[in-house]
Amino acid sequence: MGHGGDVISELTTDHDEVKELFTNIEELPAGDPQRKVYADQVTMELVRHSVAEEAYLYPAVRKHIPGGDALADKELEDHAEAEQTMKDMESYEADDPQFDMLVGKLMTEIRTHILDEENNLFPRLREACSAEMLNDLGDKVRQAKKMAPTRPHPSAPDQPPANKLLAPGMGLVDRMRDAMSGRGKSS
């Protein structure tokens, strides 16, 4: 979280971190409690990433890319599906078969979403926006991730201005809950 560079570099680095966490999960046997720790870390990263994209990336896509409304709407649909999967996953421990099913579903959803963004959306954004604009978006995304929630909130607004107003408060509550529970940390 918070790597530097333009918005595309920032978000691509986030993608790489999530893919690495997925690999960590896949390398462990079913039922291993560490899988839940990694799944919580994935969720925390994905929620922050999604909130930042929804606040800044997708509005820029709508504004600067021809056909951007349809592109942004599809990305928001992907986020909503993944967020519901993450919410469902919260109630299961690593030794529950339902946990494995949901983790597999999330990996498929996110890997497809990453490919779509990196192969379709990001090149179009780079073509449509100046380097200065992409750097400015990178700064805004980094700032948003610092304040963003770390838990899925499927019913929360996903478009400005409501998402920009509510995310910092939800983020503060989530980070306090995470600190108190040790969520996402190995025991």
How many distinct structural domains can be found in the chain? 1
- Tell me if 12 is assigned to some domain: yes
> Of the given ranges (5-9, 57-61, 81-85, 155-159), which has the lowest mean pLDDT?
155-159
Sign of CA dihedral 93, 99, 16, 11: negative
- What CATH number is given to the structural domain containing 173? 1.20.120
Binned at pLDDT 50, 70 and 90, residue 149 comes out as confident
Helices (H) and strands (E) in the chain, counts: 8, 0
Angle at 182 between CA 113 and CA 86, to 5 degrees: 25
- Tell me if 186 is assigned to some domain: no
DSSP E strands in 58-155: the ranges are none
Distance of alpha carbon 133 from alpha carbon 64, whole angstroms: 11
- Tell me if 60 is assigned to some domain: yes
CB atoms near residue 128 (< 10 Å): 16
pTM to 2 decimal places: 0.88
Structural domain range at position 138: 7-181
Distance of alpha carbon 93 from alpha carbon 38, whole angstroms: 12
